[in-house]
Amino acid sequence: EKIYEDYKKDNGKKLQSQAPAIGIDLETTYCSIAYFNKDFEEVEVTSHEVDENPTSSYAQLNAVGQTARDLAHLNLEGTIFNIHRMCGPRFEEENQKLKKYWPIQVVQGGDGKNKIRLEKQVLFPEEVLVNLFNNLKQMAEEYLGETVLNVVVTIPAYFSPKQKTITHEACNKAGLYITRLISKPAAAAVAYSVRLQGQGGKRRGLIFDLGETFDVAILEIGNKKIKIVATDGDPFLGGDDFDNSLAQHCVDT
């Protein structure tokens, strides 16, 4: 399996070699932005919105990010989260087990895909993902003080080819040239391999990522190469799922 997916030929946007590149960690509840600081020669995570925390992956019709999260208690049925869980799978597939936890109304489109009904509008989840990338791009530009056009995106290990394509297209529509899609465990392995520079030998490691979802990978690292031996994940095992299970337990008892 490839360490990353390369989309150079498929981009609707052109690579801008002089423009800075950022990294976006796409998560269910939060997203993070990072860039390479040339002055200190290290990767630096940017500060977001009103505090030092990652930006919220929340959206409403007229708000996105932390603003939408702050307004959620006033308009819960108009607030979208868990957006990348809705992208890709068809209406009948397993993500329907989460419908009872979503305050928004998810309906079936004529093509069998998920659609989100917000007030009088009906949106595809992919449209909301574009808005999130637009928001992240704007925050990165405000932080760096220059236009951002190039991006590397980390995605869950379990993402299907369809979900990868949706992510790539959403970046393009947000004005970003996506140079790489890389799974979260593989990204962790890349960071680890950088720290191993100068140390000989081959190592086999287990990358275990239990956060908003669950990702795991076994990788071989050595001689400036990374090989993915095996990878897997569970989109329904993470922070929100623990909260939902605890809430259901309280209801049942």
Identify the CATH number of the domain in which residue 163 sits: 3.30.420.40
Q: What is the pLDDT of residue 153?
A: 93
Q: What is the pLDDT of residue 6?
A: 54
Q: What is the pLDDT of residue 3?
A: 47
Gap between the terminal Cα atoms of the chain: 46
Q: In the predicted model, what is the mean pLDDT of residues 87-110?
A: 71
56, 71 Cβ separation under 8 angstroms: no
Query: What pLDDT digit, counting tens, does each position of 170-182 carry?
Result: 999 999 988 888 8
Does 52 have pLDDT greater than 70? Answer: no
Total tally of structural domains belonging to the chain: 1
Does 48 have pLDDT greater than 70? Answer: no
Q: In the predicted model, what is the mean pLDDT of residues 92-106?
A: 70
In Å, how far from its chain's centre is CA 14? 22
235, 82 Cβ separation under 8 angstroms: no
Confidence category of residue 91, pLDDT binned at 50, 70, 90: low
* 169 belongs to a structural domain: yes
Which pairing describes strands 150-155 and 177-183: parallel, antiparallel, or unpaired?
A: parallel
Strand order in the sheet with 214-222: 203-210, 214-222, 225-234
Q: What is the pLDDT of residue 17?
A: 58
* 59 belongs to a structural domain: yes
Question: Which range marks the domain in which residue 82 is found?
Answer: 5-187+233-252
* 192 belongs to a structural domain: no
The SS3 call for residue 237 is coil
Does 68 have pLDDT greater than 80? Answer: yes
Percentage with pLDDT > 70 across the chain: 84
The SS3 call for residue 8 is coil
Q: What is the pLDDT of residue 61?
A: 85
Does 95 have pLDDT greater than 60? Answer: no
Here the tokens at position 253 are 């008892």
* 220 belongs to a structural domain: no
Q: In the predicted model, what is the mean pLDDT of residues 152-176?
A: 88
Identify the H or E element spanning 152.
strand 150-155
Integer Cα distance of 107 and 241 in angstroms: 22
* 130 belongs to a structural domain: yes
Confidence category of residue 246, pLDDT binned at 50, 70, 90: very high
* 215 belongs to a structural domain: no
* 127 belongs to a structural domain: yes
Q: What is the pLDDT of residue 1?
A: 47
Does 118 have pLDDT greater than 60? Answer: yes
* 207 belongs to a structural domain: no
Query: What pLDDT digit, counting tens, does each position of 194-227 carry?
Result: 777 666 678 888 888 888 788 888 888 877 777 8
Confidence category of residue 15, pLDDT binned at 50, 70, 90: low
Query: What pLDDT digit, counting tens, does each position of 130-145 carry?
Result: 999 998 999 899 888 8
Any residues with CB less than 8 A from the CB of 204 and at least 6 apart, and which? 218, 219, 220, 221, 229
Least confident span in 1-10, 55-64, 147-156, 220-229:
1-10
Q: Between residues 90 and 66, which one has the greater pLDDT?
A: 66
Averaged pLDDT score across all residues of the chain: 80
Integer Cα distance of 150 and 11 in angstroms: 11
Q: What is the pLDDT of residue 18?
A: 63
Integer Cα distance of 7 and 49 in angstroms: 30
